[in-house]
Amino acid sequence: MSMTITEKILAAHAGLKHVSPGENIWIDADVLMTHDVCGPPTIGIFKKEFGEKAQVFDKNKVVIIPDHYIFTKDMHANRNIDILREFAREHNLPNYYDVGGERYKGVCHVALAEEGWCRPGDVLFGTDSHTCTAGAFGQFATGIGNTDAAFILGTGKLWVKVPETMQFIIDGKIPPHIMAKDIILQIIGDIGVDGASYRTMEFAGSGVEAMTMEDRMTLCNMVIEAGGKNGVVAADAKTEEFVKARTNAPYKIYQNDMDAKYHSTWYYKAEELTPMVAKPHSPDNKASVREVQTEKITRAYIGSCTGGKFSDFVAAAEILKGQQVAVDTFIVPATTEVDRLLRTTMIDGKSMMQVFEDAGAQVGKPSCAACLGGPADTFGRTHGEEICISTTNRNFPGRMGSKSSQVYLASPYTVAASALTGKITDPREFLG
Amino acid sequence: MTMQNKITGRVYVLGDDIDTDQIIPAAHLVYSLEDPEERKKYGEYALSGVPTAQAGLPEGNIPFVKNGEHESEYAIIIAAKNFGCGSSREHAPAALEIAGVEAVIAPTYARIFYRNAVDGGFLIPAESQQSLVPFFHTGDEAVLDLDAKTVTNKRTGESYPINDLGQVSNIIDAGGIFSYARKSGMLKETADA
């Protein structure tokens, strides 16, 4: 019986030869990831249900990456980090990336890839909806709640309903001004914020094959914005090179069977793609940049698991170098590794960090920062009627802090170009 | 909470795509869910992210929880499609439960919210066959009957069908994934056994 990549990974982790969409199965987790927002309640449920002295299912498979509310005076947020630290100490967890030292990473989904936790054929559960980012590596990766995470913490297992797979084929040569973010905004706009509910979104075609790992991460990161359970890109030589450079752990590459069954298949011609935005207040509220290019903005934000990776800043720097921003512009590297690269990568004799600062942008410390609003003192958070254009992933009402603010989602190219003019701007105006 | 077969209460009506940032804004995710006093904050701020014009349809401008309180007068939420989309925060169904919500009735749910509601035993995510938003006003008294698979608006006397809960009813009946796993023998009976 034929299967898709996702079905094969799930079958292998359930000890079954074959699974079909709609079946409820129990699967084994290879990695359980949590952070400072959902870790403390997960630990609370774990202790209540398994007992104060209970051991975790496998301390090598538990990964804790505080990243949400790190640089804040909020006492409750700071207490949550203390709870994680204490739990890691109590259980002698080797994979706790503590705040305030060399171990600190920043945004978990980017750090998971950097640290070799994203591996083809594995199952990754995380207490964050953007855990789906890791599908870029041919991994089954999905977001779960605290109760499910506590269950895994004690047992290493969770029930899942096998999802149907929707295929998105992007064929052809992607134009140089188009980023993965434009493509995923187009797709979400086409299928809607519930267009992939309970399903897998698989990305394939020559356009996807030509993408870097970071571009594939951007595609998979936002499948949750269409309601998807997971995103997936078939692992290839590029995936293997990335993974082998970061871990010696074994992995397994699965391919779709030739006659695998899909819920639906969507085709996109790369040459026809155009820079896109999602208008307030929904990620599926699509428009091409050309359609909204006179709209005024008062703020620009470049960061998050979606748009705070190194390549996102390389794109932004291409546009911002030697120019001056016209609106408040916030730069937040996803991780300490991205931050390091911004300080050490030179453009025309200046570090990228210097390029941003010289352009008048403010640079924050690696974390989730204002992507999801957060405590009042969060860097870049909205407090009033700001109109922000952002490389982040959600623009629901109040997402970046203030209920009266408005958020446009766009690619790093489009956000950088818009920062320079104070209105939504097609990046082709600044790209050679 | 374990499953009751009949839930009676006043309804609070919301629109499409109510995401988890509207259910419980991210700034409030810092409070403890275990501490009996601190967890009341989640009730206080439940649904505080909904834009005021859309809060309590059809009129809007109806607060879900009165200022300074942590319990709502509404036990049932009637919403349109894709309720609970967005983040994986389990604080969302927890906040609704803490505010006193026993059931949500919507035609479709975002996957993680639905799972969390069921596995954490917070509330019943009932599926209506169509959006019931046009048929209810915020404040109407309703009866959700899980045996008859209907919800009735006592103001109009009209009843509307609700889908069978299907396979997840075993988990809902048990009161969540932990009790379900204990009942089915997958986990040992008690925490420290």
CA dihedral A236, A237, A242, A244 (to 10 degrees): 110
Q: Which residue has the tokens 């078939």?
A: A234
Q: What is the CATH T-level fold of the domain B6-164, as seen in this structure? A: Aconitase; domain 4 (3.20.19)
**A263's tokens:** 């819920």
Query: What does the pLDDT average to over B154-179?
Result: 95
Is the pLDDT confidence value at B103 over 80?
Answer: yes
Q: Which domains does chain A have, with CATH numbers?
A: 5-268 (3.30.499.10), 277-429 (3.30.499.10)
Q: How many CA atoms lie within 13 A of B15 on its CB side?
A: 12
Q: What is the pLDDT of residue B193?
A: 39
Which SS3 state, helix, strand or coil, does residue A13 take?
Answer: helix
Q: What is the pLDDT of residue A249?
A: 98
Q: What is the pLDDT of residue A1?
A: 81
Q: What is the pLDDT of residue B3?
A: 59
Give ipTM to 2 decimals.
0.96
> Is B189 an interface residue toward A (CB < 8 Å)?
no
Angle at A407 between CA A401 and CA A413, to 5 degrees: 125
Q: What is the pLDDT of residues B1-52, one digit of tens each?
A: 455 689 999 999 999 999 999 999 999 999 999 999 999 999 999 999 999 9
Q: What is the pLDDT of residue A432?
A: 75
Residue of B nearest to A400 (CA): B26
Q: What is the pLDDT of residue B68?
A: 93
Is the pLDDT confidence value at B152 over 70?
Answer: yes
Q: What is the pLDDT of residues A320-340, one digit of tens each?
A: 999 999 999 999 999 999 999
Q: Looking at per-residue confidence, does A277 or B188 come out higher? A: A277
Tell which A residues from 390 to 409 touch B, by Cβ distance under 8 Å. 394, 396-399, 401, 403
Is the pLDDT confidence value at B132 over 80?
Answer: yes
Tell me the backbone φ, ψ of residue B155, rounded to 5 degrees.
-70, -45
> Is A73 an interface residue toward B (CB < 8 Å)?
no
Q: What is the pLDDT of residue A82?
A: 98
Question: Per-10-residue mean pLDDT for chain A, 432 residues long?
Answer: 96 98 97 98 98 97 98 98 98 98 97 98 98 98 98 97 98 98 98 98 98 98 98 98 98 98 98 98 98 97 98 98 98 98 97 98 98 97 98 97 97 98 98 85
The span from the CA of A403 to the CA of B47, in Å, is 12
Query: B156: which DSSP letter?
Result: T
CB contact under 8 A, A198 and B187: no
User: The sheet that has A328-332: what strands, in order across it?
Assistant: A286-288, A276-278, A406-410, A387-390, A299-303, A328-332, A362-363
Q: What is the pLDDT of residue B167?
A: 86
**Domain locations in chain B as residue ranges:** 6-164
Tell me the backbone φ, ψ of residue B106, rounded to 5 degrees.
-145, 155
CB contact under 8 A, B27 and A376: yes
Give the ranges where A245-351 is alpha helix by DSSP (H): 304-307, 310-320, 336-344
Q: What is the pLDDT of residue A214?
A: 98
The rounded mean pLDDT for chain B is: 95
Is the pLDDT confidence value at B192 over 70?
Answer: no
Q: What is the pLDDT of residue A81?
A: 98
Q: What is the pLDDT of residue A362?
A: 98
- Closest-CA distance, B154 to chain A, in angstroms, reads 31
Q: What is the pLDDT of residue B189?
A: 64
Q: How confident is the model at residue B85 (pLDDT cuts 50, 70, 90)?
A: very high
